[in-house]
Every structure is written in C-alpha cells, then in structure tokens.
Structure 1
Amino acid sequence: MWTIYLVEDEAFVRQAIREILEWETHGFRVVGEAGTGKDALADIRALRPDVVICDIVMPGMDGIELLRLVREEGIPCRFIMLTAMSDFDYARNALQYGATNYLLKLSLSDDILLANLSRIKGELISELERKGEALHPFYYQAWAELRRQAGLTDPAGKPSAVPDDFRALHLTVYTVLNGSAPITWEQLMEADIVSNEQYVAVHSFTEAGETAFFCWSKQASGELLRAGKAGELCAAAAGGGSLDSLTQHWGLALGQLDPCWYEGDSARESGPEPPMRELEGELVRCFEERHETKCLELLDSLWRGMDAERYGHIEVKMTAVRLAGMMTTLARGRGEPQVAELLAERTHRQLLQTMKRWVAELLRRLNEEEGLFTDHPDVNRVIRHMLENYRENVTVKDMAKLAAMNVDYLSTLFRRKTGQTPVAFLQNIRIGHAKRLLRTTEWSVVEVADRTGFADDAYFIKLFKREVGQTPSAYRKAQAISDLSY
C-alpha cells in the first residue's frame, strides 16, 4: 500500500484527517504523524512515506521549511499542503518547492482528498513504470544466471544499476509455459490466475518459451509458492521476494512448473541407464556413423534419464539445444535446428519427439546429399541397413532377405542403381568410417579394423591401400601433418 504521513500541530485536525477516509480500502496506509516540523523531518527521513499531508502554518519549523529541507535531502515523497484562507501566499511558496497541491482546511472533504490522492497514486505508478525500464538489463542478468545453473554457461555481464525505488518493494514472480504463443498479463487475469489489484508495477520477460511476470507491490504478500493450469496455460508463482532475491524466486517459480513439464507423471520405472555424459558421447558417435535407429534409441534413453533424475525443465531444454548444436557442427552446419522450436515445446515428451524428428530428418538429408540413396525404396532399405550395421557380419543373403528378393536379382538391381555391387558398397562404407577413426582416435590399426567390421586386419590394410592409395598408418600420419600445417 502507498504510505501516508500526517503533519499538523492541532491534534483534533490530525484525528479528523485520519478518520476522513477508509485508507486501506483505497490502497493507502497512514504510517505516522507529528505535531511539529522538526519531529516530522526525523520520521520522514526514517519512513520515506509516499505522501505527506502537511499543514503550512505551524510553530517552529513550518510546512514550507519542512518541504524545503525534505527536497534538499532528495527525499521524493509528494506533499499535499493544508492551508487556511489567509495562507495563499504560503501556498504559492509551497508549490514553488514542489508541493503537489494545497487544500483548504475548511472545505476539506473525503472526495476532495481522495481525488488528490488518486492523482498522486497515478503519478507514482507512472514514475515507477518509467524507472522500471532500467530493470530489464537486470532481468537478463538473472536469466543468464539461471541458464548457468541449468548447465549452460553464459557470461552474466556487468551488474546493472537498479533504481532504489524498487529496493523497498515486495516481489512476486509468476512464470508461464507459453511455448511459441505470446502471453499477456491480461490473459492471466482473464484466466483467474492472477489479480492486478495489489501490484504497482508489472514487468514481463519472455525467453525460451517461458514468460516471467515480475510483480512489484508496496505490501508483502506473504510466502507464496504454487502452480496450476487454466485451460492450456500452465503457470506458477513464488512470492515473498525482493529485488535482492529476484533470481532465487524466479528459479523457485520455474521449478514449480516442472510437474507440468513432466505432465504430472512420476518417473517411469526402468532398468539402470548409463551415466548421462556417457549416453551423450554414444549419441554423438552414432550420429557420426549415421546410425539413425541407434540415435533415436539413445535420445529415448537420455530423456528417460533426465526424467528419472528429475532435471529441471530449463535444464532439459538447454540439454536439447546443446545436443542439437553438437550434431549441427558434426553435420558441418547443415540442417541447423530452429532453436526457438525446441525451446517452445511445453512438455518433456513433446521436446523428445521434436528432437527425434529433427535428428532423423538431418541424417536422411546428409545421406541423400552424399549420394548414398537412390530412387528405389528397396535398395534404400538395404543401404540404410548397411549404414546401421556395417560393423556386423552383413551378407548379401541377409540384404536380399531384407529386400524380399533373391540374391541375383538384388545384386543386379543394386548395381544398376548405385554403380556398385552390394559388397563393394558396404566395403566403402566401412572404409569411410575407418578413415574417420584414423583421423580422430589413437586406436591401433587392428582396433580400427575390428570396429569397422573387418574380421581380418591384413585384408583391411590391403583393401584400404587399394581404395585410398595409402596404408592406414600412412594415411594417419599424412592427416596429422595436414592438420599441423593448417
């Protein structure tokens, strides 16, 4: 509530002013009073009221002198001066020092006083809104800190200066999983999620498919921690905050959205999963090998792991963005994901499905760009089987069974569509992966042969030299020299 301080040397007048309005009904609260300017100055310094209702003519320090001293000390409270008919010269002086208005004592009524207070309240709110613009860099810094806590390191930047007016206000943070659809404070009010009555300023901040509303009030709302749904909207709140605890309370409100993110389900029972970093490493390796089926299985495992460990939903989103970035790098920038699309998903399950669709589409596009696929669906089915199982003992008989053809017909059709026999095509896939392992690992030639489907390392070396023009060891040395010269 906006605070009022009364200064009047006559006690019965002070009492009459206190009783003229139901102050709290109109959003005001009388926080103190004094009968002299000297006593009032000490209280105003300590209480910093929003409005001072002050008599002009008082013994000792009069209202004009009090107003002048308050202004010299930079205290921004508004002054409403009370005057008698004979005090107009004083009243004009009061206006020169920045008094908001002067009112005649004899004609003072609740309507007149309320009209002046309402105008002052509007001015104070407008001023807070203007000063509140300086808070937006502060919100960005808090968001960077929340991202850092979620595992994505961002520089927080230089701390922003914030207006002192907000240090005395109480904060409630509302967060909404809005996805790609914009959300407004008015929509939350229409959904009966929030009420605007007690807040003197409301600021919104939208990032990563989430909108936060920072609601500033003059009166503490008590501890508030809750989440709920209204139609398609999932919202949460954390109250009892302040400017100094903004990041903490924002994080609390975001945390309240996690059950909604996981759609209220408890983590599914499943067998033990490998550590998350190990799963991520395996996903990257399978992506490099263009093993679509295994990539999709690993995404399922990763999402089950985050569910089981109850990652915060912001952490899940940032994990998806990080993984997508790694795979885009491996794809040499092709098929770059729409990060906004990933961040706009509202549930754990939806984000997983979006990631799986993107990975499958990117792998298919990469294979098509490199001429691995043809215009024949059965031949493509065989090629995909080779790409995913090249480390196994894949025979032409297995391929023919997969395509529902006899061996001779498959071999003839495959050669016509690709220019190679099935066996030669498979060997080229294996040689391609062997070249990658020789460039990127320290595995021995025997290990590389084994990991690319060659049971006989001597045959591997012979075939590699025939296809590449160098032995595996010579190829590795040449690549190392090339990297150094680059």
Structure 2
Amino acid sequence: MWKLIIVEDEPLVRRTIVGRINWQEHGFELVGEAGNGQEALELMKSYNPDLIITDIVMPLMDGIELLKEARTGGWDCRFLMLTCMNDFEFARQALDYGASGYLLKLSMDVKSLETALYKIKRELESRAEVRELQEKQSLYRYRDLYRSLWDHFYLREGRHPGLEDEMVAMPSFSLQHVFFCAFLHDNVEYCMEQARKIGFLGSDAMSGPSEWSTFTLDGITTVFGWSDRTMAWKAPVFGESDTSYAAVYAKPFSASELGKVWFEALLMLDRCWHDGRTGLVSVDARFGQPMASSAVIGHKVSSSTSHPFSALSWSHERELLLIFEQSKVEACKTILDLLWNEMKDLSIPVTFVKETTVRLDRLFARIVNHPGLPSAELTVAASSQRLKELFWQRIERYLQHKAASEEELTDHEEINKIIRFIRQNYDENITLKSMARYVAMEEHYVSRLFKSKVGENLINYVQHYRVEKAKVFLAESDLSVSDVGCSVGFSNDNYFIKIFKRVTGITPSVYRKRMESQEEPQHI
C-alpha cells in the first residue's frame, strides 16, 4: 500500500474527498488528514507518505509552500494539487516545483480522480524500480569496499597485516556516517535478528534516510548501517541481548574512520574466538589487557610463506604433516594441541586459523586418497576449541581410511612388521642391520627373505617409499626441496636429488613444476 495524506482547510470538502472512492482498492492507505500545510508537514515527518493530495490556497502554509518544504526537506513523495477555477497560476507554479498534476475541485469526480491516481501509481512504481536498482548498485558498491578493507587487514603478499599508510581510500559516498555490529556467526538472518534485539536497528535515534548492508566471510558477519546525518546513540546495556555468539558493536562514527574501527572490532572478535567468549561488547571496551594481535603485526615474516602468519606455526605444521603420514595418532594429537596453543597465545586472526585448517584438511585427504569432506563446517566454527574438535575428528577419520586401505604385502609376519615400521618411520635412519635387530633375525637371512617376499631388496624399498612420500610433499606443500628431502629421511640434498632422479627420471624441482602446471586451469 502507498501511504496517502489529504490536506484541505475546509472540513466538508476534506470529508468529501476522503469518502469519494475506496482508496485501498486503488492501492493507497490514508494515514492522515490535515487542515493546512504546517499540520501536513508534521504528519509527513511521522509517516513519510508516498502521495500528498493538497489544496493550494490554505491559511498558515499553502499547498505551494508545503510542496517547496517537502522538496527542500528531501521527501520524494508525489503531489496532486486541488485548485479552483481562478487558481491556474498557482497550479502552474506547483507543476514547476514537481507536482504530478492538479484537479479542479468543483468538477472533480470519481473518474478524474481515478485517472490521476493511476498516473501517480505508475510514477511510484517506476520510482520503486529505480530505488531497487540503486539499492542493488549500492549493495555491490559497499561490498567492494568491505572486501577491499578486509583484504587490506589480512594482506596476502608477505607484508604485515593491519592498517598501513596506503590504507584503502574511502569512496565519497553520500552517506558519511556509519555504525556496525560484527558477529562470530555466518547466518545473515540470525545476525540481523540479533542486531534488532540489542536495539541496533530500527530505533528512533536511527530514523531517517539510511542504507543497510552486510558482509560475511570466514564465519564472521558484520551488519552495517549508513546514514547521511549525525545521530544520537544510546548504547545497549550488556545483557540486554541473549546472544549465544560473540558480537562487537560500534556506535555511529564518521565513515572516514571505518577501516580503523572495523579492524579494531575484528581484533576483539579474534580474542573472543580464541577464548570462547560470547555476548555483546562495545569496540571501545577492553578485556583488561592489550590486544595480543598487535604483537603479531610486528612479527618478522618470511618471504617464502604463503601468508604473513604461516611462519609462526609452520614448524608445528610440518611436524603434524610428517607424523600424520606415519599414522602416529597420539603424536598427531600432541602436535595439534601445540599448534593450537601457539595460535591462541599469539591471537592469530580467525581468518588465518581457518585458512590453515582448511588447507591442512585438504592436504590430509589427498595424502590418504580420501575424496575429502566439505570445508563449510570448518569455516563457520564459532570458537577455536570447536574448530580444533572438528579438525581432530577429520584427522581420525582420514587415518582410519588410510589404515583400512593399506593391505599386507606379504604372507610373512616378520616382513610385514618391517614394512609397517618403514611406513611409520621412513624419516629415520633405516638400515638392514637395524631391521634385522628389530625382528631378532640374522641380517643375511632378512635380506634374502625380504627380497623374495617383496620383490626388491630392503634398501631399495625404503628409497622408493621415501621418494613416493617426497612426491606428495612436493605436489601438496610449500616445503623447499631441501626440507622435503630431510622430512622423508634423506641425509643431504645431493643424495635426495640423486635417488629421486634415479626413481622418477627427473629432479624434484622439475617434478614440482610439472605438478603445478597440471593444476593450472586450461584456457580455451
């Protein structure tokens, strides 16, 4: 329904107009009546109408002055002017100021009124379509801004995260005041509902022209409100909102400060996520201690890492990768705990923790030839502890898949025992002598028995197995060739390259380049 206000100083004429037709059948809801322009202006402030039907000549404020005030005040409502036979000059002025049309009061009948309403409805529908298009354009415009800021917060090019001198320039939007609430939650509808519960949306203090938008990534949703005016703000009282997730809000501020304020809120959410905190807090609040993330921002970053924080935990990542390959369940859990504690102590941003987890999850799935599991439940985990629990469940599942898919190669118990030892400890110094001692058998007998059951001698088997594991690391990780060789048990680089080339026909570096080229999309 389009909202309608009728303005006429003569009560009898006004009642006649009100009762002339069924307004609702024509798509209009009569929300108010006024006897002059001043009264109408107050109603407009309350109802923000779509159509004003007004007499021109009235006391205190006439229809022309009301139209001028409406345009000056920013109202985009339509005006239908009512005039007498000798008011044509006034009617012409009204059209000049943007009135949609006029009707003669003495000759106005149902048909002429319906014709005028039909024309105005078409104008209103066209205006609605334009506004919808503008809102979509505005939405994309804001999303581009949010994404630019987000990427700048978490730089992917070996530089430090945070806000630097070359901070993303704020576009010159017409709405220069902004407020937001950031949630550790990925459901936009839920976040909008929670924002309303805490008084963030729809309060009288926030009335007036505004645009709303959201941005969701890595399980964090921020609800933004934009306005063209400075607004009074009554901060919600902690405990008013029954939020079961952490949320950080910022009261209205200048849009030029958006990058700094939003980044501070995200740092606070990082701390909430690591500590498992829930509830609502202001971006101006502190948890009684400096933000640990500020220490991380100053950390020296290795140019070989894929993102600024990977160097902080790569030693543990490498250990986790190696012992996962060797199916050492308890050791996997120990290293995972160390990795998680390190990221918590340094308040590694949520987005990087989740990126690391998803990357390792996909790598582990490939290592054991598992089709992989959807990553969505990892990226929306609302706390560090929950993410670790989900990740560990997946690690156990992958290891079970690996164990089930590995078949015994021989019918000899001691040889199978040696094979299992090699698979779990291929990075160690393995010799014929050490394996003979391991199964309490004589060396020459073990050598002949192993070759007869497996088809190759023990040392060749170890080298081939190490090369196969090296191929996985070369294709799926960022480890240097030297680190790959060390990780799979080769004593030095030259020996690793020599054996790798003997087995595959190419060097480790050439193998890696070939694997990378195979992953590149084919352009037609």
> Aligning the two structures, in what range does the TM-score lie when normalised by the shorter sequence?
0.5 to 0.7
Normalised by the size of structure 1, how large is the TM-score? 0.56
Q: CA deviation at 1:52?
A: 12
8 Å contact from structure 2 (residues 175, 229) kept in 1: no
Q: CA deviation at 1:343?
A: 0.8
Q: CA deviation at 1:134?
A: 0.8
| Greater shift in the superposed pair: 166-175 or 345-354 | 166-175
2:154 match: 150
Look up the SS of the partner of 1:195 in the other structure: coil
1:260 match: 272
Taking only aligned residues, the RMSD between alpha carbons, in angstroms, comes to 6.3
Partner Cα distance (2:505, 2:86) in 1: 99
- Which of 220, 223, 228 lines up with 1:210 in the alignment? 220
8 Å contact from structure 1 (residues 202, 213) kept in 2: yes
| Greater shift in the superposed pair: 140-149 or 120-129 | 120-129
- Which amino acid letter does the alignment assign opposite residue 168 of structure 1? L
Normalised by the size of structure 2, how large is the TM-score? 0.52
Q: CA deviation at 1:478?
A: 2.9
1:237 match: 249
Q: 1:433 to 1:130 in 2, by over 3 A?
A: same
- Which amino acid letter does the alignment assign opposite residue 479 of structure 1? I
Q: CA deviation at 1:144?
A: 4.8
Residue 193 (structure 2) pairs with residue 187 (structure 1): yes
Deviations along 1:31-89, one digit per CA (max 9) or x if unpaired, are: xxxxxxxxxxxxxxxxxxx99999979xxxx9989989x99xxx985576988756642
Partner Cα distance (1:280, 1:367) in 2: 26
Residue 362 (structure 2) pairs with residue 350 (structure 1): no
Q: 1:211 to 1:282 in 2, by over 3 A?
A: closer
8 Å contact from structure 1 (residues 51, 77) kept in 2: no
Partner Cα distance (1:149, 1:450) in 2: 34
8 Å contact from structure 2 (residues 313, 342) kept in 1: no
Q: 1:190 to 1:451 in 2, by over 3 A?
A: closer
Q: CA deviation at 1:349?
A: 1.1
2:46 match: 26
Partner Cα distance (1:216, 1:206) in 2: 17
Partner Cα distance (1:24, 1:284) in 2: 67
Deviations along 1:366-397, one digit per CA (max 9) or x if unpaired, are: 454454799xxxx9999776544344578779
2:185 match: 178
| Greater shift in the superposed pair: 85-94 or 255-264 | 85-94
2:321 match: 287
- Which amino acid letter does the alignment assign opposite residue 291 of structure 1? Q
- Which amino acid letter does the alignment assign opposite residue 218 of structure 2? A
Look up the SS of the partner of 1:479 in the other structure: coil
Deviations along 1:332-355, one digit per CA (max 9) or x if unpaired, are: 985444222211100011112222
2:174 match: 167
Deviations along 1:204-235, one digit per CA (max 9) or x if unpaired, are: 34333233222233542468999876242432
- Which amino acid letter does the alignment assign opposite residue 221 of structure 2? T
Partner Cα distance (1:234, 1:103) in 2: 58
Residue 99 (structure 2) pairs with residue 99 (structure 1): yes
Residue 466 (structure 2) pairs with residue 433 (structure 1): yes
Q: 1:146 to 1:295 in 2, by over 3 A?
A: farther
- Which amino acid letter does the alignment assign opposite residue 502 of structure 2? Y
Unpaired segments ≥5 residues, structure 2: 1-35, 105-120, 158-167, 279-286, 293-299, 301-308, 442-448, 475-479, 515-524
Q: 1:65 to 1:202 in 2, by over 3 A?
A: closer
Look up the SS of the partner of 1:258 in the other structure: helix
- Aligned-residue sequence identity (percent) comes to 20
Q: 1:245 to 1:279 in 2, by over 3 A?
A: closer
8 Å contact from structure 2 (residues 80, 99) kept in 1: yes
Partner Cα distance (1:213, 1:449) in 2: 49
Deviations along 1:85-133, one digit per CA (max 9) or x if unpaired, are: 56642454324753268899xxxxxxxxxxxxxx999999997555221
Residue 343 (structure 2) pairs with residue 306 (structure 1): yes
Partner Cα distance (1:256, 1:399) in 2: 54
Residue 364 (structure 2) pairs with residue 365 (structure 1): no
2:163 match: none
8 Å contact from structure 1 (residues 178, 209) kept in 2: yes
Look up the SS of the partner of 1:354 in the other structure: helix
- Which amino acid letter does the alignment assign opposite residue 215 of structure 1? G
8 Å contact from structure 1 (residues 150, 318) kept in 2: no
Partner Cα distance (2:485, 2:228) in 1: 69
Residue 139 (structure 2) pairs with residue 136 (structure 1): yes
8 Å contact from structure 1 (residues 178, 233) kept in 2: yes
2:16 match: none
Partner Cα distance (1:390, 1:185) in 2: 50
- Which amino acid letter does the alignment assign opposite residue 143 of structure 2? Y
Unpaired segments ≥5 residues, structure 1: 1-15, 29-49, 105-118, 154-158, 401-405, 408-414, 465-469
- Which amino acid letter does the alignment assign opposite residue 273 of structure 2? W
8 Å contact from structure 1 (residues 209, 345) kept in 2: yes
8 Å contact from structure 1 (residues 373, 380) kept in 2: yes
8 Å contact from structure 2 (residues 183, 246) kept in 1: yes
